[in-house]
Structure 1
Amino acid sequence: MFYIYIIFSKSLNKYYVGSCQDIEKRLEDHLNSRSKFTKTAKDWELKYSEEYNTRSEAYQREMKIKKMKSRIYIEKLINNQE
C-alpha cells in the first residue's frame, strides 16, 4: 500500500504533505532530521493520511493537495476525516 500524509509542527505552525509506503518510518525520518524541509523542527505530528493501491495514485493525490497551496484546504481535510 501507498499513502499520502499530512504532518504538522506546532513550533513552526506549518503543515507538510508527503507520500510514502510506511508512514511510521517516514514520520521517524521527519523527526530525526532526515528530510530537508522538516529538519528545522522536532515536533512533527501526523494529522491526516489516505491509503492508495499504487504509488502513482498516491503521488497524484499528493500533487493535487500541494497544488491547492491552501492551508484552509488542508485543515478542511483534517477536520472532515472520519
Structure 2
Amino acid sequence: MTIASFVAMTIFLAVLAFVCIYRAYIGPTAADRVVSINVITTKVTVLIALIAVITDQYMFIDVALIYAMMGFIATLAVSKYIEKGKLY
C-alpha cells in the first residue's frame, strides 16, 4: 500500500470520528453517548496505529494499545455508573 492510501484512510477515519462526536452530542440517552464515545476511542486507536505505519515509528503501537485499554476501562466504569449510580 502506498502512503497516499494510508493518508486517505486516516482522513476517512477522522471524518467518521467527527460524525461520532456529533452522535455523542445529540444522543438521546446516556447509552447512546457511551457507545459513540467507545467508537471514537476505537477510531483514534486505529488512527494512532496508522500513524505508526506511516511514520515507521512502531512505538506508537504501544501507545495505541494503552489507549485502547484505557478506553475499555472507561467504558466499563461509565456503564457501571449508568446502571447502578455509583462506581463501587
Would you say same fold, with TM above 0.5?
no
- Decide which structure has greater strand share: 1
Whose radius of gyration is greater, 1 or 2? Answer: 2
User: TM-score by structure 2 length?
Assistant: 0.30
Higher RCO (CA-CA < 8 Å; seq separation 6+) = 1
TM, length-normalised to structure 1: 0.31
